[in-house]
Chain A
Amino acid sequence: MVNVKTVENVAMRDVFGEVLLKLSESDPKVYALDGDLANSTKVNVVAEKNPEKFLQMGIAEQNMMSVAGGLASTGLQPWATTFAAFLSKRSIDQIQVQIAQPNLDVKMIGAYSGLLTGLTGKTHQALEDIAIFRTLSNMVVLAPADGVETKKMMEFAHNHYGPVYIRLARDPLPTVFSEDYNFELGKAVKLKDGKDATIISTGTQTGRSLEAAEKLSKEGIQVAVVHMPSIKPIDEQAIITAAEETGAIVTSEEHSIYGGLGSAVAEILVEEKPVPMLRIGVKDRNSESGANEALLQKYEISSDHIAARVKEVLKKK
């Protein structure tokens, strides 16, 4: 089991900018591509400190992603960054035909993923990106829980030839991992033991799931927490083991309940080890602008909602 840290708050996007700057300085093949959101996504750090490695592509996501495929075909490693909403929906055909299918070495950073996107509302929230990206061949789909994991995933992606999608959050989050954490592709990370049920969570929702588990333990419910940073490929064995050991699963993601982590886990449980399972995610409805806490409450993905869902699943055991 990995040591849980939960100390100071760090924004993934700040880590992203600094790590990409270092990669662009140390590796001649690394370039940053921006869809004119550099000072939001924090890729502006590269623009300002290593301008030769920064390629402004303008407000034209389709072109940006096809250009990235072309650049990669000449031996470069483009890191294309824009809001996850645009990357996953405006340019998905380009990504499929000219990056994923030809297995080109393009890194895609979906900034401002999920629901908490800084009062921008539904056009700028990305609640479908996991669902969309996980259907593409050759695609690796990752969602870090904190700044430490963001850095480790980027270092992994840099050394992994092929398309990688990483969904990042906008706002600071509690740090879950200590610096010695080691990200492994396709491996789940158990963060808390528990015998009654398992929460399988990804990305930003992992911190909230740990909170929920703490609350439940005070009520005498021992729930395990398994963090799933790699949604594709996914750790099938960890899911089966969790089902075998605790007999009930709740999935937790800042994403639509359709097609994301919950669906991926359900696919495996149904085929390999059916046990009672419930999902936490944004239900089938339009979301809106609002403060973070208000959004978490209204769209039912807060730690309280997770805890309540665990109690519900226990009744199904």
Chain B
Amino acid sequence: MSTLLDQEKVRTLKQKAIETRRLILETINYSGAGHIGGPMSAVDVLVSLFFEEMNIDPKDPRSEDRDRFVLSKGHSAIALYTVMAQRGYMPLEELKTFDKIDSRLQGHPDMKILPGVDMSTGSLGQGISAAVGIALGGHLRKQTFRTYCMIGDGESQEGQVWEAADVAAKYNLDNIVVIMDYNKLQQYGWAGKETEREIPVASPEKRWEAFGWNVISIDGHDFQQISRAFSEARQVKGKPTIIIANTVKGKGVSFMENAYLWHAKVPNDEELEAALKELQMEV
């Protein structure tokens, strides 16, 4: 049985999530480039992973028994960096270098230059395969660390995602948890019949079940549900787990939510001010 987070813990995580969204918006506004929609939808799962679920130590980011995290949807890098900065992997001040020359905070995560990033990503569909390799390596070396990987729903149009799904199930890897940030929009996609845009990947639960994975579907903005899903995944033996995190693209700012044009739009100063005001009201 999974344990519930106490109210104080939930309050702390929510506060971190609001702070993360604020940092994302400010950083993208400051750097004049980057993604908004995907990072904002991913925030709560990332906060839960880095502040609650994963066995990690920012002071020892190369430790052999640390849990691993791979951001397969690498274009949401700013969400990862803002969470890592709050967790102590770098000074908050360093966020200002995002996307600038000589920065450790590349447009897409680079494992060579930023300790705490466990795999370089950016070209879609690859991170999940690398995460499968990391989990397989842990299994072969009889190590107990767990591997977490976040993929996008748009990313799941890449065939490689399903190659990885197949191999992870074949090797019965129960030390990997993949989270699909199911925000139901991609950069441009198809015009929808009833809604504005078509959902990138329909019926993900059925697809993953067919590939032999343990599937858990949750509200990806509900810390209790996220935590319970991670806990449930630990109990599953002999097969990998995917958590379908139902999320809202652009989550937290009304005019950015469910708006595909905010996939990678830079908020100007007025938009930033309006967005921060909305976030402030949530505190």
Chain B nearest Cβ from A87, distance in angstroms: 15
Q: How far is the CA of A65 from the CA of B133 in the complex (A)?
A: 9
Q: Write the B124-135 contact mask toward A (1 if CB under 8 angstroms, else 0).
A: 011101111111
Q: How far is the CA of A236 from the CA of B271 in the complex (A)?
A: 57
Chain B nearest Cβ from A161, distance in angstroms: 14
Interface majority SS on A: helix, strand, loop or mixed? helix
- Picked from A70, A93, A103, the residue with its CB within 8 Å of the CB of B131 is A70
B166 and A70 form a contact (CB under 8 A): no
CB interface residues, B 6-57, toward A, < 8 Å: none
Stretch at the interface among A73-81, A222-230, A278-286, A296-304: A73-81
B164 contacts chain A at the CB level, 8 A cutoff? yes
- Picked from B112, B134, B166, B167, the residue with its CB within 8 Å of the CB of A74 is B134
- Picked from A58, A60, A70, A97, the residue with its CB within 8 Å of the CB of B136 is A70
Q: Write the A52-72 contact mask toward B (1 if CB under 8 angstroms, else 0).
A: 000101101011011111111
* Given A62-B125, A70-B131, A55 and B136 contact (CB-CB distance below 8 Å): yes
B141 contacts chain A at the CB level, 8 A cutoff? yes
* Given A62-B129, A103-B112, A73 and B119 contact (CB-CB distance below 8 Å): yes
Across-interface contacts of A217 in B (CB, < 8 A): none
Interface majority SS on B: helix, strand, loop or mixed? helix
Across-interface contacts of A55 in B (CB, < 8 A): 136
Interface size class of A (residues with CB under 8 A): 20 to 34
Q: Which chain B residue has the least Cβ–Cβ distance from A61?
A: B163
Kindly count the residue-residue contacts between A and B in the assembled complex, taking CB atoms under 8 Å apart: 107
- Picked from A63, A65, A67, A97, the residue with its CB within 8 Å of the CB of B120 is A97
A98 and B119 form a contact (CB under 8 A): yes
A69 and B119 form a contact (CB under 8 A): yes
Interface size class of B (residues with CB under 8 A): 20 to 34
A31 contacts chain B at the CB level, 8 A cutoff? yes
A276 contacts chain B at the CB level, 8 A cutoff? no
A40 contacts chain B at the CB level, 8 A cutoff? no
A66 and B160 form a contact (CB under 8 A): yes
A121 contacts chain B at the CB level, 8 A cutoff? no
Chain A nearest Cβ from B176, distance in angstroms: 10
Across-interface contacts of A98 in B (CB, < 8 A): 119-121, 126, 129-130
B132 and A101 form a contact (CB under 8 A): no
A73 and B112 form a contact (CB under 8 A): no
A102 contacts chain B at the CB level, 8 A cutoff? yes
B112 and A93 form a contact (CB under 8 A): no
B129 and A74 form a contact (CB under 8 A): no
B163 and A63 form a contact (CB under 8 A): yes
A101 and B112 form a contact (CB under 8 A): yes
Chain B nearest Cβ from A95, distance in angstroms: 10
B120 and A102 form a contact (CB under 8 A): yes
Q: How far is the CA of A99 from the CA of B64 in the complex (A)?
A: 19
B122 contacts chain A at the CB level, 8 A cutoff? yes
A256 contacts chain B at the CB level, 8 A cutoff? no
B152 contacts chain A at the CB level, 8 A cutoff? no
Q: Write the B86-124 contact mask toward A (1 if CB under 8 angstroms, else 0).
A: 000000000000000000000000111000001111110
* Given A63-B164, A73-B118, A102 and B133 contact (CB-CB distance below 8 Å): no
Q: Which residues of B contact A (CB under 8 A)?
A: 64, 110-112, 118-123, 125-127, 129-138, 140-141, 143, 159-160, 163-164, 166-167, 170
Among all A-B residue pairs, the 3 with the closest Cβ atoms: A70-B133, A74-B137, A66-B129
